[in-house]
Amino acid sequence: MNRVARKSAEQLELQNRARNFAENVIVPRVQEIEDSAQYPADIASALAREGLLGITLVKEYGGLGRSYLDAVLVVEELAKVSAIAGRIVIEANMGAISAIMSYGIHEQKKLASQLILDGDKPAILITEPEAGSCATNMTTRADENPDGSYRINGKKIWISGGGVSKLNLVFARVYDKEGKEQGIGGFIVVNDPSNPKIAERISGFKVERLESTLGLRGMPEAEISLENVIALPKDVLKTPNGFSRGFSDLMNAYNAQRVGAASCALGIAQGAYEAALAYSKSRVQFGRPICEFQGLQWMLADMSIQIEAARALVYKAAASAGDDWEAGVFPDALQAAQAKIFADEMAIKVTNDALQIYGAAGYSKSNPLERYLRDARMFAIGGGTAQVLRNLVAAKILHRKFKQTV
């Protein structure tokens, strides 16, 4: 645990870079992003130039070759001022990209890495109208053509970055040339209509609509239809277990994404806490700063305790993957789930209490507290709800598989 509790000089340098970037580049744009609800492509490009979108990419492909814990430190710093920036870094270092870098062939890794280093935020297309927490209910299908390519048809919803992400990892139920089901597989679809080499194959990749969301404004949540989208054999992301059992291999990448989500929730909570702490010292009522009232002291104390407990869980989960990046090695599933549940629910409580300390001023859009509160709410839902992850935790600690359907 010493390597988690005591940051190395390199980690401190990376964290300071992220903090300076957040203060100098992101802060001036935060309110504009919130008001417009437009994806900040300029911020993504700036993050790429700063080297923060390829932290976990191995050096062979142009990345920093750093650990998930290093990426978590960056996400936490960015999310203190902007959850959108935090999420961009999550997707560029964990989740879909983890699966591609672990199981992809050289050409796939090279393609994905270059897109990310150019400022792209990958999207992972799993969720469907009838396949939310139960991903295996998906009906999107990939039918093999005589030439070995696949024809993908279906609908995906709640796709973060849908429409702005060039790199898309699409999950579909696979059928061979004879129409026999093979299992669920992943397909790399590059949504770049300006590229004449792929424009015709992806003409059926369409954003049908964008959700209007409570928080995280600036990160599009899209409904995407796929109509006869063609994936070539080189676009198939295969694990050693093939289609029959490979879906669980690919889903292991979600352990990294969950740690990333937890770190973003942690950063939001830290930002709200720091704001409330400073406000409690400057706000004077009844002739003295409100931090001198015991009721608020206890609130602040509890907030600091909850944040530190979440940080310990998140760092431990990230470190469970090891210090050196290795293909196929993801954070521990149990630790990732525990960290995400605790950090997500902690962030909801801490942001709510921080707004309460501000009083009416926190309810105003002139302060960031109401944004922190709205942004925090999504993390107990996306990437595995707190309830579904509790099922996972129970299965792990009891060493049993539980059937959740009847």
Largest CA distance in the chain: 81
Residues 267 and 312 in one domain: yes
CATH of the domain at 128: 2.40.110.10
Inside any domain, residue 264 = yes
Query: How many C-alpha atoms does 404 have within 13 Å on its Cβ side?
Result: 13
Choose one of 117, 139, 168: the last residue of a domain: 117
CATH number at residue 23: 1.10.540.10
338 vs 165: CA distance, rounded Å? 29
- Angle between helix axes 253-282 and 333-358 (nearest 10 degrees) is 20
Residue at a domain's end among 117, 140, 164: 117
Q: Which of 166, 172, 153 is CA-nearest to residue 192? A: 166
Instruction: Check if the beta carbon of residue 337 is closer than 8 Å to that of residue 345.
Output: no
* Residue 405, domain member (yes or no): no
Do 173 and 298 fall into the same domain?
no
Domain count within the chain = 3
68 neighbors 262 (Cβ within 8 angstroms) = no
Which residues does the chain have with pLDDT short of 70? Answer: 1-5, 324-328, 404-406
Is the Cβ–Cβ distance between 298 and 131 less than 8 Å? no
The tokens for 231 are 């994936």
On whether both 237 and 158 belong to a single domain, the answer is yes
For 164, left (φ over 0), alpha (ψ -120 to 50), or beta?
Answer: alpha
- Are 227 and 241 found together in one domain? yes
CA–CA distance from 340 to each of 91, 153, 173, 248, 404 (Å)?
A: 16, 32, 28, 19, 21
The token pair that represents 163 in the structure block: 């429409």
Q: Are residues 387 and 258 both part of a single domain?
A: yes
| Domain housing 55 | 2-117
The answer to whether residues 112 and 148 belong to one domain is no
Q: Are residues 63 and 88 in the same domain?
A: yes
Residue 403 within any structural domain of the chain? no
Taking the C-alpha atoms of residue 44 and residue 31, their distance in angstroms, rounded to an integer, is: 16
Question: Are residues 69 and 53 part of one domain?
Answer: yes
- Does the predicted TM-score (pTM) go above 0.85? yes
Question: Any idea what the CATH number is for the domain that residue 303 is in?
Answer: 1.20.140.10
Domain boundary among 117, 144, 165: 117
Q: Are residues 238 and 205 in the same domain?
A: yes
Q: Which amino acid is at 260?
A: G
Residue with tokens 């470190």: 319
Residue 318: which of 264, 269, 270 has the closest Cα?
264
